[in-house]
Amino acid sequence: MSTTNPNQPPGPYAPGQHIMPPPRPSSPSTAEYRLNHLMMRIKDPAASLRFYNDCFGLHVVFIFNTGPWTIYYLGPRDVGMGTLGTSKGLLELYHIPADAETPYAHGNDYSVPNSVGFGHIGFTVPDAEQAVERVKSFGYEVIKPLGEARVAQMGVPGIKEESEVDEGYKDVFRKLAFVKDPDGYWVEIVPQVF
């Protein structure tokens, strides 16, 4: 697809470089649009709330039982019902009891048919090492520790040689950690400052 929009420069892109196009021109039609939330299905509400609230500092804004499923809406501590429509960083968790035997695909396991898609959510934290230790203290799995950058940890199949991935990316990747939430979704821990 060809484009003349400077915010969408055509590829190919050189490995190891951040392409930083100029911001999109303002559009009166979408000036107030913003990403508000992400929805994920969960199996065990208590385990998921412990993970997202206690490990990552979100709080429950509301719980709504629809009958067939229950919605848990989480957000930063300064978010309430009156600010949901203008807030950012919200997470909507669906507990669907009828899904008890249905495996959820979390998108990073290429060995499971039809699981590729959703990759991960990320939390920016002031101290990544401290955040990883906190997650571990709650008993959750660290799937990619800080300081490591093996291609097998990157969630992309088919890379045969470590040298195929740009060293600049590996340097950034070493500063990140990945953990699993109770349903197997990947959660990235990103330092506020590199």
The region, left, alpha or beta by phi > 0 then psi within -120 to 50, assigned to residue 14 is beta
Diameter of the chain measured on Cα atoms: 52
Residues 148, 92 share a domain = no
Q: 44-53 pLDDT, tens per residue?
A: 999 999 999 9
CATH code (residue 126) = 3.30.720.110
Q: What are phi and psi of 152, to 5 degrees?
A: -65, -20
User: What is the domain count for the chain?
Assistant: 2
Give this prediction's pTM.
0.78
| Host domain of residue 45 | 34-98
Residues 124, 93 share a domain = no
Does an H or E element contain 136, and which?
A: helix 128-137
Residues 90, 38 share a domain = yes
188 included as an active-site residue: yes
Residues 79, 47 share a domain = yes
Q: Which of 92, 129, 148, 188 is catalytic?
A: 188
Whether 14 is in a domain gets the answer no
Residues 171, 136 share a domain = yes
Nearest to 188 by CA among 138, 135, 152, 137: 135
Residues 192, 140 share a domain = yes
Whether 173 is in a domain gets the answer yes
Residues 141, 77 share a domain = no
Strand order across the beta sheet in which 90-95 lies:
37-42, 90-95, 70-75, 59-65
Residues 130, 73 share a domain = no
Residues 43, 77 share a domain = yes
DSSP string across 72-102: EEEE-TT--GGGGGG--SEEEEEE-GGGTTS
Q: In the chain, which residues have pLDDT < 70?
A: 1-3, 114-117, 157, 194
Residues 121, 157 share a domain = yes
CATH code (residue 57) = 3.10.180.10
For residue 194, the Cα-to-chain-centroid distance in whole angstroms is 18
Residues 134, 189 share a domain = yes
For residue 59, list its beta bridge partners. 75
Distance CA 95, CA 98 (A): 9
Q: 134-181 pLDDT, tens per residue?
A: 999 999 999 999 999 998 888 776 777 888 888 888 888 999 999 999
Give the domain-ending residue among 47, 68, 98: 98
How far from 194 is each of 81, 84, 121, 147, 172, CA to CA, in Å? 34, 31, 19, 13, 8
Give the domain-ending residue among 98, 128, 154: 98
Whether 18 is in a domain gets the answer no
Omega of the bond leading into 113 within 30 degrees of 0 (cis): no
Residues 137, 190 share a domain = yes
Nearest to 33 by CA among 86, 89, 98: 86
Whether 17 is in a domain gets the answer no
